Amino acid sequence: MRIHHLNCGTDCPVGGALFDGRSKGPLGRIVCHCLLIETDAHGLVLVDTGYGLRDVAHPHSPERRIPLPWRAMLNIRLHERDTAIRQVEALGYRAEDVRHIVATHLDFDHAGGLEDFPAATVHVMAREYDDATGPKRGFVARNRWRPPQLDDVARWRRYGAAGERWFGFDAVRDIDGLPPEFLLVPLPGHTWGHAGVAIRRDDGRWLLHAGDAYFYRGEMRSATRACTPGLRAYQRLMEANRRDRLTNQERLRRLSVEHRAEIDVTCTHDPVELEALQAGRAL
């Protein structure tokens, strides 16, 4: 298999390094790190989709695909060239070649491109699907999940949390239609139905895409957690359950330290992690 690390969305929040820890100017740079995996027998697999074509063309009307308060807060930049479909095409493939999409969760900045791949089965935790498509309580819930991004998805496959043990986590081992090298790893906290996606590379090393279970590189691979104030505040704003979020983040941090030789742990929104993986450098 071959894994491509794509950026399918860029946010430039006012605050610069207070968000990303490195920008010199007033604007930061937050990415939407998605994976595109070329498999031998199962077509193309996407992990998350970032913003999609319909988000770029009509972000706010006639349907409210991108919530305006978040558009302003994150200073979201919408470019067609950033969409997963355009990047798939640039690699010489067509939308139909994407047979599976594994979704860490269904927030608007992760699910916007689902409808650009009508032949794909979308795999997601059942709780996430229920929360995203059902009745919603509260300002954050009504804005983070945008039904217009989801209602044209043809095939959903939903999963309960039960599964096998994987490095101390419970993992769903039977993702329908995918080989055992793909695991859904429930990591609730950011949302109740949030999950990471683990992929075993051909050389035996695992890549764990932890979605929004953490946001900043300093939260992994070191003895103590470090996070910028902007991303710390954003994670608190978006959390469904603080105790679960912090517990799972701590478990991930320990995993990234104690099993560094076996596993790469990465997240959605850190640009430094994305650049390292795109360049084939160690995290």
User: Least distance from C-beta 92 to Zn ion, angstroms?
Assistant: 29
In the numeric block, the tokens 């999609």 are attached to 52
Q: Which is nearer to Zn ion, 109 or 273 (CB)?
A: 109
The nearer residue to Zn ion, 39 or 65, going by C-beta atoms, is 65
Question: What is the DSSP secondary-structure string of 41-68?
Answer: SS-EEEE--BS-HHHHH-SSSSS--S-H
| DSSP for residue 96 | G
* 31/98 with CB nearer Zn ion: 31
Give alpha helix (H) positions in the chain. 17-20, 53-57, 68-74, 84-90, 108-111, 126-133, 139-144, 229-238, 242-258, 271-279
Count CB atoms within 10 A of the CB of residue 181. 16
CB of 93 to Zn ion, least distance (A): 25
Least separation in angstroms between CB 270 and Zn ion:
11
- Of the listed pieces 23-31, 116-124, 125-133, 212-220, which binds Zn ion according to CB under 5 A? 212-220
Contact 155, 77 (CB under 8 A): no
Q: Quote the least distance from Cβ 238 to Zn ion, whole Å.
A: 8
Residue from 55, 116, 131, 212 that binds Zn ion (CB under 5 A)? 212
Stretch that binds Zn ion, among 22-30, 39-47, 62-70, 211-219 (CB under 5 A): 211-219
CB of 268 to Zn ion, least distance (A): 5
Measured distance CA(138)–CA(193) in Å, rounded: 17
Please choose, out of 65-73, 76-84, 125-133, 204-212, the segment that lies near Zn ion by the rule CB under 5 A: 204-212
Size of the site for Zn ion (CB under 5 A): 2
Cα–chain center distance at 10? 13
Q: Can you tell me the distance from the alpha carbon of 48 to that of 128, in angstroms, rounded to the nearest whole number?
A: 14
Output the smallest distance, CB 215 to Zn ion, in A: 8
CB of 50 to Zn ion, least distance (A): 9
Shorter beta-carbon distance to Zn ion: residue 109 or 264: 109
In the block, tokens 């697999």 appear at 45
Measured in degrees and rounded to the nearest 5, phi and psi for residue 34 equal -115, 160
Interface mask (CB under 5 A) for Zn ion, residues 109-148, using x and -? x---------------------------------------
Which residues are CB-contacts of 57 (< 8 A; sequence separation ≥ 6)? none
User: Contacts with Zn ion in 94-113 (CB under 5 A)?
Assistant: 109
Residues forming contacts to Zn ion in the complex (CB under 5 A) are 109, 212
